[in-house]
Structure 1
Amino acid sequence: MAVDPEDLAEQWVARHTEWRRITALMGDQGWPVTPRSGTSRGSTWARERDAQREGALARRAAWQMERQDARDELKAQLWLSADVSRRLRAIATRTGLEPEQVLAQLADRVRMNDNGTLTVDTFTPR
């Protein structure tokens, strides 16, 4: 089960708040308290923890973006007539592309006219 980094961050904020409350209580009781600046090792750990948290949040955001992109992608299996298939393969061979890449470039350039017809301006696959 994956831990949500944002939930983990909220837990750490709550813990930090509680630690600060306990520190204040200890100060009120006259018990020895580490200064707010902390020790160098504690400060190093805090910086490392913050860096890990930021890294985890960045990885989570990137992962979510990849998932969204994957949902937006369209994968299709296409059956072409022999004549169209030969022409597509010839175009792909001349351009050094795979037939799927030629079709993807063609799809990128298609536009729909007001009357519902599809149009592709002349272009050279690259």
Structure 2
Amino acid sequence: MWSAEDVARDQVRRHADGLDIPAVEGTLAEAAVRERESAEQARRGDSFSEFGSDPERLADIWVAKHAEWRRVRDLMVAAGWDAYQPDGDTQGLAWAQERVERRETALAAHSAFQARRREEAEELRMELWLSATPSRLLRAVAGRAGLQPAQVLAQLAERIVVSEDGTVSVPPFAPTL
């Protein structure tokens, strides 16, 4: 999820594209008013249910938007721009790139998590209790192969063959690392 600053920076950068200084000053004044109003509504605990928004988050976003509009205005004055140029705003470009990278990282992590969940859904986990004789035999085979008994059982399960009549068998094999 984006922070209030991320939301503000993205929205201001897109909205400011091509605006001149008087238009930016007007939007800056509007942001100052919205910042005060949203802070007051958050303090009162007013609901923004028609927008489905958390009052405190909305107030934080307006604080960040007000600060970002000030930064854009100051940049334009310092650079002598007649209109805001997002491609010339190195700080804005850096922040936008950071957001893209964080988004890509989050999407990759989410995708990996989903893949793990799909694999886990297909896995079978079980607890197996063997009597003494098969247990000793399994431990001996595992010991000779340098494996844990569970690893030998997993290899055994991977080689199961089910015939047409439903009988289950495992062809002879040697457990390997």
- TM-score category (smaller protein): 0.7 to 0.9
Q: Which residue among 53, 61, 85 is the counterpart of 2:111? A: 61
Q: State the match for 2:101 in structure 1.
A: 51
Q: CA RMSD in A?
A: 2.6
The structure with higher relative contact order (CA 8 Å, sep 6+) is 2
The CA distance in 2 between the partners of 1:54 and 1:97, in whole Å, is: 39
| Inter-CA distance 122–101: structure 2 relative to 1 (3 Å threshold) | same
Q: Which residue of 1 aligns with 2:132?
A: 82
TM-score (norm 1): 0.75
How far has the Cα of 1:22 moved from its partner?
5.6
Which residue does 1:113 correspond to in 2?
Answer: 163
Aligned length: 114
* Aligned residue number for residue 63 of structure 2: none
State which structure, 1 or 2, has the greater radius of gyration over its C-alpha atoms. 2
Give identity over the alignment, percent.
41
Contact in 1 for aligned 2:16/2:84 (Cα 8 Å): no
Matched ranges for 1:1-126 at <5 A:
20=14, 23=17, 26=19, 32-126=82-176
Amino acid at match of 1:113: S
Change (3 A) 1:116 1:122: same
Q: What SS does the aligned partner of 2:88 have? A: coil
